[in-house]
Amino acid sequence: MAVQSVKFYQVGSRAVGNRLLEEALRTEQASPARRNALNSGHRACQGCGEALGARYVLDAAVRATGGKLLAVNATGCLEVFSTPYPESSWQLPWLHSLFANAPSVASGVAAALKAQGRDDVRVLAQGGDGGTVDIGLACLSGMFERNDDVLYVCYDNEAYMNTGVQRSGSTPPFARTATTEATGPEPGAPIGQGKDLPRIALAHEIPYVATATVAELHDLEAKVERAMTMRGARYLHVLVPCPLGWGSAPADTVRLARLAQRSGLFPVFEASHGEITAVLPIRSRVPVAEYLRPQRRYAHLFAEPPRIDLLERIQAIADRNIGRYGLQEA
């Protein structure tokens, strides 16, 4: 896990940088020399968590690889808002093919590099939750199984946002989407369905699996850096709130990612060869309602009368996560 051993009182380890911190202890995002792999002028919505997460991950990976990095992108918001022909926001070699095949394309790129004897250039594949947990899952599972030398990053905003907020396999229970309306006795997305992709990745027993959020930058960067020290198939799952799809204020993107982690609904951990090796403990836990209330996709839970029963079922999921991963701070 991201280790910050310096005793630093004003902002601890949580801010992006700080004038009082040694440069080495600041994040890459604090550096004026960061790559800005995803440049200004992209057409993501105000406060887009995915745009933020992609820059966080890629800048850290660029630093970790000394700039010798190329990215393969699945179809999705990230691809659409960054490359409306003829413009591109990418400041690294970047390749887009189809919605489903990003893991396979990345495997192919890695194989090509290997055939050329280029072991210095590293491959990163990225996509949203739709391209990852649904449409590209077969390709991704194959990439895991073959242990291809690719870091696959999923930016999870929990629905198909680009096409109009349809449910994905990653949409959480009772969230309203265009295809799971807030009607009936159990409104919103069904409970007990969907896919927990970090756990599916764990089951492949690949060298490295980790989760992170855009709210814990030091933690996120440390994980990218660790992943780039390894070879073989690696998987990083980053929670990226979506103001449009979640019905939240653009300014609340980081705050919501933080509340997701603090409530226990989004467990932050890392694992090696199928075994959990570390978790980010919850500092000052919050009830799930505190995370859900600012999001209009859950507005029906807080109407008159509030759906206490459903909130309790969501709370049970958080409680289970906290028990399963040992998230409670000692």
Count the residues of the shown chain that bind another protein, applying the rule CB under 8 A: 49
Which has the closest alpha carbon to 13: 126, 139, 5? 5
Is 9 a binding residue for another protein by CB under 8 A? The answer is yes
| H or E element at residue 211 | strand 208-213
Q: What are the residues facing 90 on neighbouring strands?
A: 38
Using the rule CB under 8 A, which residue among 5, 32, 116, 117 binds another protein? 32
Q: How far apart are the first and last CA of the chain?
A: 16
- Which residues, 6+ apart, have CB-to-CB distance to 299 below 8 Å? 176, 182, 247
Is 212 a binding residue for another protein by CB under 8 A? The answer is no
- Which residues, 6+ apart, have CB-to-CB distance to 191 below 8 Å? 173, 174, 313
Which has the closest alpha carbon to 173: 297, 261, 73? 297
Using the rule CB under 8 A, which residue among 5, 22, 85, 305 binds another protein? 85
Find out whether 193 and 110 touch, Cβ atoms under 8 Å.
Answer: no
Rounded to whole angstroms, the Cα distance separating 296 from 11 reads 32
Q: Which is nearer to another protein, 121 or 254 (CB)?
A: 254
Binding mask 239-268 for another protein (x = CB under 8 A): ----x-----xxxxxxx--x----------
Stretch that binds another protein, among 9-17, 151-159, 290-298, 304-312 (CB under 8 A): 9-17
Q: Which is nearer to another protein, 135 or 260 (CB)?
A: 260
Smallest distance from another protein to CB 239, Å: 15
Smallest distance from another protein to CB 17, Å: 3
Is 141 a binding residue for another protein by CB under 8 A? The answer is no
Residues 169-208, interacting with another protein (CB under 8 A):
none
Is 24 a binding residue for another protein by CB under 8 A? The answer is no
Which has the closest alpha carbon to 79: 63, 101, 62, 112? 101
Is 55 a binding residue for another protein by CB under 8 A? The answer is yes
Using the rule CB under 8 A, which residue among 39, 97, 147, 179 binds another protein? 39
